[in-house]
Structures are given as structure tokens and as C-alpha cells.
Amino acid sequence: MSVSTMDTGTEPMPQTSLQTVAFSNPGGETSPPSRGRPVDLVHLARQTLGDRELEREVLALFVQQATTVRDRIATATAAERTFLAHGLRGSAAGIGAFGVAAIATEIERNPHDKPLLLRLATSIDEVRDFIASISR
């Protein structure tokens, strides 16, 4: 029995259809996971039950939270970093920003690791820019 590229999720999605999948037409929730992008739009569609307006709202709230965490976490105490990372991890996983969630998990385990804070900031900026690109 052979497995098609659609079944494995390895077939890349054309850039021109990102906005369609993200917001315009229902049906993205039946597509394979899209973990290659900063936000897994298939996961997001499942979480929002395909409600495109809710997707927009959730993404906007996430960007606001994530940029606030990015701006505060470097100067926070270890306990505050753990708290900020924990909240961000849950939100990021909820919308499908799995890269941000993974780094936040690492920060929860090791809040003194300064390079992790830089990786988190970079990852948050990538997600923010991706969301801006599909929201135009």
C-alpha cells in the first residue's frame, strides 16, 4: 500500500493560497497539518471550528500577548520568566505556533538560559510577520 504525499503532509502549499486557507474559504480543517509554517493553519482552523472571524481575533490576541512577553521576558526574574513562558506556551500551542510553544517549554525548564530568550524573540517575530502576511 502506498502513501501519497497528501497523506504524509509533505506536499508544500502554494504561497498564493495561504490567505484562502487561513480566512476566506471553509475547508482548511480537512487538510493535513502544516507544521512547516510559523503557524499551523490547519490546527488553527480545527481550534476555531473553521470560523474565519474567530481565527482573525485569536491571531490578533496572540500577537499582542506574544510581543508583550517578548518585550518583558528578558528583564524578568527567573520566576517571572517561568510564568510568562508557561502562559505563552499554552497560547502558542492553541493557535498552532508550535515553534514558539517548544521554545517557551524550554524556558520553563531553564529560565536562566539567555540564548533561549533570543530564540524566543526571533520565533515570535517570525510568527508575527507570518500572521501579518496572511492578514492583508
CATH number of the domain where residue 71 is located: 1.20.120
Count how many domains the chain has.
1
pLDDT of residue 19: 39
Q: What is the pLDDT of residue 10?
A: 43
pTM of the model: 0.74
pLDDT at 25: 39
In this prediction, the residues of the chain whose per-residue pLDDT falls under 70 are: 1-35
Range of 15's domain?
Answer: 6-134
How confident is the model at residue 36, as a pLDDT?
A: 79
Residues 114-130: b if buried by 16+ CB within 10 A, e if exposed: eebbebbbebbebbbeb
Q: Is residue 72 part of a domain?
A: yes
pLDDT computed for residue 18 by the predictor: 38
What is the rounded distance in angstroms from the CA atom of residue 107 to the CA atom of residue 105? 5
Q: What is the pLDDT of residue 136?
A: 76
